[in-house]
């Protein structure tokens, strides 16, 4: 489940200009009148943080407004997961940032603007700079007529009034279609086509309330504009099932234009050397990156990684793939505090810390007090010195994200009591701590013991490294099917034992 928001003085993530769409209601423009919905229900801001392990994020982090940021999902997020039919595994949340740009006009006003500029020389801005073009009046009239005809056909074709329901023109009709939503907010009948369309992505009335509270103008978008933007995201690899979570975290996405925003950010990611197959995944995990300026925020962040942190330019794309939230972080603070801590606590040289960031950039999200220190102190408690701990962390930085009670401690006990190994062996085989105790370590150990392939003395940890096929050939001298059947029986037996203990 992105980064943290900080002061506007930062050069890495500069302030994001907030502009209101011209189609926003009067109460947003300072009329002094609150909408009916705000009188019924107080609007609230929900903030999430991006990280690998929510339990070890610094609970004292504050937003740029001085508010304490919670490292945990909100109750509404939990309700979302309960209502969801998806089995997605979203490990990372993202933060919310202000929007850089909005759709300025509805389609009709766009036509009027074009008509007024007939015969004038115009510049077209998009993710690629296009040459200036001069349009003939007659050709433009024909183009406008053709576009109007195409749009009319598209409206007829893409009618999002589901189940052949008649056009909704009154709030009473809206209340019948969306009763729960109507109780929470005052719905304009014009919103209904968009709501119908969004339900095709699995959004429900409770989700619309959440979107409204986070960013009300997102529900005022024309359905065809919303469809164009979401279709583009789908075309670059975002999965249909991920759209719902993206909208709940960053509803402003519906307002980001394809040409002026979405394409520019996708082009930026591709420029980092990120494969096309990974683009959709990165966007789905960190949709808030669209609210950051490419030139004023994202590119400076990459430059900081290269020039200040010391990440090789060829490796930056890999770092972003491992932790997309790094693009929306205050790197000057997160990098310096963690580097200074590891240097002082373990005597870590700069090169070692850079290797840690390169292999597991998520450490830039982890809290020092709740993440780094407890795990370092645990390794000390089992007899490891600082130099040994540094070797382990440099080779397997993920140790800093592993649960003490459910992961590190059980594996250590099995290493000493069952495998008869000393703790210093972990400096040679640090990956032991990353292997599954139930799926890899225990089954292979028990299998070799049953086959009487184990000699007296410490169990060879090198037998845990290869894949199943190589393990069976090199160590067990038997077929993979036989080993897999043994492992399945062992898992069922362990499950039955745990079930009996719960009774």
Q: Is 221 part of a structural domain of the chain?
A: yes
- What's the burial of 108, exposed, middle or buried (CB within 10 Å: 0-12/13-18/19+)? exposed
Residues 330-386: tens digit of each pLDDT: 899 999 999 999 999 999 999 999 999 999 999 999 999 999 999 999 999 999 999
- The CATH number of residue 203's host domain is 1.25.70.10
Task: Tell if the pTM clears 0.75, that is, is over it.
Answer: no
Q: Is 60 part of a structural domain of the chain?
A: no
CA 366 → CA 8, 61, 350, 370, 396, distances in Å? 23, 11, 18, 8, 15
* CA pair distance 38, 89, nearest whole angstrom: 34
Q: Which residues pair with 133 in a beta bridge?
A: 122
The first and second tokens of residue 190, run together, are 């014009």
Q: Which residues pair with 57 in a beta bridge?
A: 366
What is the domain count for the chain? 2
Out of 286, 305, 333, a domain closes at: 286
Q: Is 192 part of a structural domain of the chain?
A: yes
Q: Is 111 part of a structural domain of the chain?
A: no
Residues 307-335: tens digit of each pLDDT: 999 999 999 999 999 999 999 988 999 99
Out of 262, 286, 310, a domain closes at: 286
Q: Is 416 part of a structural domain of the chain?
A: no
Residues 147-177: tens digit of each pLDDT: 544 544 444 444 444 444 556 667 888 888 8
Percentages helix, strand, coil for the chain (3-state, rounded to 5) are: 65, 0, 35
> Longest Cα pair distance anywhere in the chain, in angstroms?
92
Mean pLDDT of 224-228: 95
Weakest mean pLDDT among 149-163, 185-199, 411-425: 149-163
Stronger pLDDT, 449 or 148, i.e. the higher one: 449
Split at pLDDT 50, 70, 90, the class of 404 is: very high
The answer to whether the CB of 366 falls within 8 A of the CB of 400 is yes
Domain that holds residue 483: 435-502
Weakest mean pLDDT among 11-20, 197-206, 250-259, 350-359: 11-20
Q: Is 42 part of a structural domain of the chain?
A: no
CA 78 → CA 74, 201, 210, distances in Å? 7, 19, 13
Q: Is 260 part of a structural domain of the chain?
A: yes
Q: Is 337 part of a structural domain of the chain?
A: no
Out of 286, 314, 346, a domain closes at: 286
């Amino acid at each position: 489940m992105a980064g943290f928001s900080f002061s506007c003085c930062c050069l890495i993530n500069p302030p994001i200009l907030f502009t209101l769409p011209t189609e926003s209601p009067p109460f947003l423009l300072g009329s002094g009148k609150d909408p009916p919905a705000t009188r019924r229900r107080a609007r609230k801001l929900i903030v999430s943080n991006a990280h690998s392990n929510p339990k070890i994020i610094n609970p004292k982090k504050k937003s740029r407004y001085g508010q304490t940021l919670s490292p945990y999902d909100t109750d509404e997020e939990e309700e979302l997961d309960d209502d969801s039919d998806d089995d997605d595994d979203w490990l990372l949340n993202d933060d919310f940032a202000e929007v850089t740009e909005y759709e300025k006009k509805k389609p009709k006003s766009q036509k009027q603007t074009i008509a007024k500029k007939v015969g004038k020389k115009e510049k077209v801005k998009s993710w690629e700079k296009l040459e200036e073009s001069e349009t003939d009046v007659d050709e433009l009239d024909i183009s406008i007529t053709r576009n109007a005809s195409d749009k009319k056909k598209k409206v007829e074709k893409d009618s999002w009034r589901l189940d052949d329901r008649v056009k909704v023109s009154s709030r009473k009709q809206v209340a019948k279609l969306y009763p729960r939503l109507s109780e929470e907010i005052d719905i304009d009948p014009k919103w209904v086509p968009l709501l119908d369309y969004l339900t095709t992505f699995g959004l429900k009335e409770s989700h619309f309330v959440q979107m409204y509270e986070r960013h009300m103008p997102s529900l005022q978008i024309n359905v065809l504009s919303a469809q164009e933007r979401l279709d583009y995201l789908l075309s670059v690899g975002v999965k249909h099932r991920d759209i719902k979570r993206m909208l709940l975290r960053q509803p402003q996405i519906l307002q980001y234009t394809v040409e002026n925003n979405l394409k520019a950010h996708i082009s930026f990611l591709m420029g980092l050397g990120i494969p096309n197959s990974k683009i959709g995944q990165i966007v789905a995990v960190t949709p808030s990156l669209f609210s950051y300026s490419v030139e004023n925020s994202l590119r400076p962040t990459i430059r900081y990684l290269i020039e200040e942190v010391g990440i090789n330019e060829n490796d930056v794309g890999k770092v972003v793939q491992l932790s997309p939230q790094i693009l929306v972080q205050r790197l000057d603070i997160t990098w310096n505090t963690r580097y200074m801590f590891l240097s002082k606590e373990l005597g870590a040289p700069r090169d070692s810390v850079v290797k840690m960031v390169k292999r597991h950039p998520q450490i830039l999200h982890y809290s020092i007090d709740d993440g780094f220190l407890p795990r370092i102190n645990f390794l000390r408690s089992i007899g490891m010195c600082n130099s040994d701990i540094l070797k382990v962390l440099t080779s397997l930085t993920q140790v800093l994200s592993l649960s003490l009670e459910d992961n590190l401690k059980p594996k250590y006990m099995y290493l000493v009591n069952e495998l008869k190994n000393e703790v210093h062996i972990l400096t040679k085989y640090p990956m032991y701590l990353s292997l599954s105790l139930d799926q890899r370590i225990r089954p292979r150990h028990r299998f070799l013991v049953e086959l009487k392939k184990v000699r007296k003395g410490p169990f060879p940890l090198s037998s845990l490294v290869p894949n199943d096929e190589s393990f069976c050939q090199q160590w067990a001298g038997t077929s993979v099917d036989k080993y897999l059947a043994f492992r399945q029986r062992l898992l069922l037996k362990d499950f039955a034992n745990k079930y009996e203990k719960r009774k």
